Amino acid sequence: MRPADPAPVSLLSVALRCRCPRCGEGRLFDGLLAVTPRCARCGLDLRAEDAGDGPAVLVMFVLGALVVAGALVVEIVFTPPLWVHVVLWTPVTIVGGIALLRPLKAIFIAQQYRHRALGSGPAAP
- pLDDT tens string 58-101: 999 999 999 999 999 999 999 999 999 999 999 999 999 999 99
Let me know if residue 5 belongs to a domain.
Answer: no
Q: Report the share of the chain in percent with pLDDT over 70.
A: 88
Let me know if residue 57 belongs to a domain.
Answer: yes
Let me know if residue 1 belongs to a domain.
Answer: no
Range of the domain at 102: 11-114
Let me know if residue 124 belongs to a domain.
Answer: no
Q: Are 19 and 26 in contact (CB under 8 A)?
A: yes
How many CB atoms within 10 Å of residue 64? 13
User: What pLDDT is stored for residue 38 in this prediction?
Assistant: 94
The pTM is what?
Answer: 0.82
Let me know if residue 2 belongs to a domain.
Answer: no
Q: Are 92 and 67 in contact (CB under 8 A)?
A: yes
User: What pLDDT is stored for residue 124 in this prediction?
Assistant: 47
Q: How many domains does the chain have?
A: 1
Write a three-state SS string for the chain.
CCCCCCCCCCHHHHHHHCECCCCCCCECECCCCCECCECCCCCCECCCCCCCCHHHHHHHHHHHHHHHHHHHHHHHHHCCCHHHHHHHHHHHHHHHHHHHHHHHHHHHHHHHHHCCCCCCCCCCC
pLDDT grade, residue 9 (50/70/90)? confident
Instruction: Check residues 45 and 120 and name the one with the higher pLDDT.
Output: 45
CA-CA distances (angstroms) from residue 47 to 5, 63, 88, 90?
A: 20, 29, 39, 34
